[in-house]
């Protein structure tokens, strides 16, 4: 077993798990579905696929959803609301021109749709994904040279820096305790943005429901096309930030 380390930083990020209709939310840290989406984009696995052959090895969607995940919130960022409008008027600007808007179920011309879309501005995260050694090596190669562009939750949120650290992107790890230790004290050479807080938060998967402090309904079932998700147990813990990775 190994741990793949990714750094997610950029002007905007959005990790929605409860979006409904005209409200597009974001969680305060990357979601499991969002991270699997990044890996699928890197591999070239489309939303209807359940498996893919990459570098001679078959990778199943189930393998990706089974990865253990932990997130270190090095900088929480600011919650940003975008009041968004789509449609309204005509494409040509002329009174009798083709309607521009969201089409109704009846097929009638669409109206302007208003929505509230939430983002994290200037956030910085360190994500650890734990799985089989050969799988993590392939995922490292895929993230290094992705099949499709990688985004931080939405296509309007490109990363500010490469996701893959240049030094020590993969370290040994066989348990959630080891994943927690890696996020608490990252390997040397991994650049972390300076944190002014005395403590920072880590959100990590837990196998024991009794040790969980919450749940996230963000694990895709079957594939992304199904748009069905199951819950996972997580624990949220405060740690004293380590800066040894920058030494």
The CA distance from 232 to 208, in Å, is: 11
Tokens coding 35: 């991270």
Distance CA 183, CA 192 (A): 11
Beta bridge partners of 84: 115
pLDDT attached to residue 90: 66
**Do residues 167 and 187 lie in contact, with contact meaning Cβ atoms separated by under 8 Å?**
yes
Confidence tier at 99 by pLDDT (50, 70, 90): low
Q: Report d(CA 106, CA 223) in Å as an integer.
A: 30
77 burial via Cβ count (<10 Å: 0-12, 13-18, 19+): buried
Kind of pairing between the strands at 57-60 and 229-239: unpaired
Task: Tell me phi and psi for residue 21, to 5 degrees.
Answer: 55, -110
In angstroms, what CA-CA distances link 106 with 109, 114, 208, 220? 9, 19, 49, 31
Does residue 117 have a pLDDT over 70? Answer: yes
Q: Comparing C-alpha atoms, which of 231, 221, 228 is closest to residue 65?
A: 221
In sequence order, what are the beta bridge partners of 70? 128, 204
Q: 168-177, pLDDT tens digit by residue?
A: 899 999 999 9
Phi/psi of residue 47, each to 5°? -70, -20
Q: Which residues contact 193 (CB under 8 A, 6 or more apart)?
A: 9, 74, 75, 124
pLDDT at 193: 64
- Cβ atoms within 10 A of the Cβ of 141, count? 15
Residue 141 has pLDDT above 50, yes or no: yes
Task: pLDDT band for 247, please (50, 70, 90 cuts).
Answer: very low
Band (98; pLDDT cuts 50, 70, 90) = low
pLDDT tens, residue by residue, 22-64: 889 999 999 999 999 999 999 999 999 999 999 999 999 999 9
| Per-residue tokens: 190 | 């991994």
Please give the residue that has the higher pLDDT: either 149 or 241.
149
Q: Taking residues 229-245, what's their average pLDDT?
A: 83
In order of start, what are the domains of the chain with their CATH numbers? 2-79+121-246 (3.30.70.2660)
Statement: residue 86 has pLDDT above 80? no
Q: For residues 197 and 72, is the Cβ–Cβ distance under 8 A? A: no
Helices and strands: H and E segment counts in the chain: 4, 11
Structure confidence at residue 246 as a pLDDT band (50, 70, 90)? very low
- C-alpha triplet 82, 85, 90: angle, nearest 5°: 160
Distance between CA atoms of 86 and 139, rounded to whole angstroms? 37
Residue 194 has pLDDT above 60, yes or no: no
Query: What pLDDT score does 96 carry?
Result: 63
Alpha helix (H) ranges present in the chain? 32-43, 61-65, 133-144, 176-184
Rounded Cα–Cα distance for residues 229 and 61 (Å): 13
């Amino acid at each position: 077993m190994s741990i793949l380390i990714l750094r997610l930083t950029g002007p905007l990020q959005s990790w929605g798990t409860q979006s409904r209709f005209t409200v597009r939310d974001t969680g305060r840290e990357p979601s499991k579905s969002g991270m699997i989406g990044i890996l699928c984009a890197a591999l070239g696995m489309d939303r209807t696929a359940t498996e893919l052959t990459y570098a001679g090895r078959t990778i199943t969607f189930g393998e990706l959803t089974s990865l253990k995940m932990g997130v270190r919130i090095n900088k929480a960022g600011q919650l940003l609301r975008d009041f968004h409008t789509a449609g309204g008027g005509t494409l040509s600007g002329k009174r009798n021109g083709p309607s521009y808007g969201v089409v109704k179920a009846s097929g009638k011309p669409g109206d302007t749709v208003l929505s509230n879309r939430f983002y994290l501005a200037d956030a910085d995260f360190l994500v650890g994904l734990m799985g089989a050694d050969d799988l993590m090596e392939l995922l490292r190669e895929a993230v290094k040279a992705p099949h499709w562009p990688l985004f931080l939750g939405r296509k309007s949120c490109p990363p500010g820096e490469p996701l893959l650290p240049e030094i020590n992107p993969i370290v040994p790890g066989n348990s959630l305790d080891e994943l927690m230790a890696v996020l608490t004290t990252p390997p040397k050479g991994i650049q972390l943005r300076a944190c002014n807080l005395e403590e920072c938060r880590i959100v990590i998967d837990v196998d024991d429901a009794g040790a969980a402090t919450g749940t996230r309904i963000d694990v895709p079932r079957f594939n992304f096309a199904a748009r069905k998700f199951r819950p996972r147990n997580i624990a949220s813990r405060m740690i004293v930030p380590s800066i040894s990775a920058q030494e």
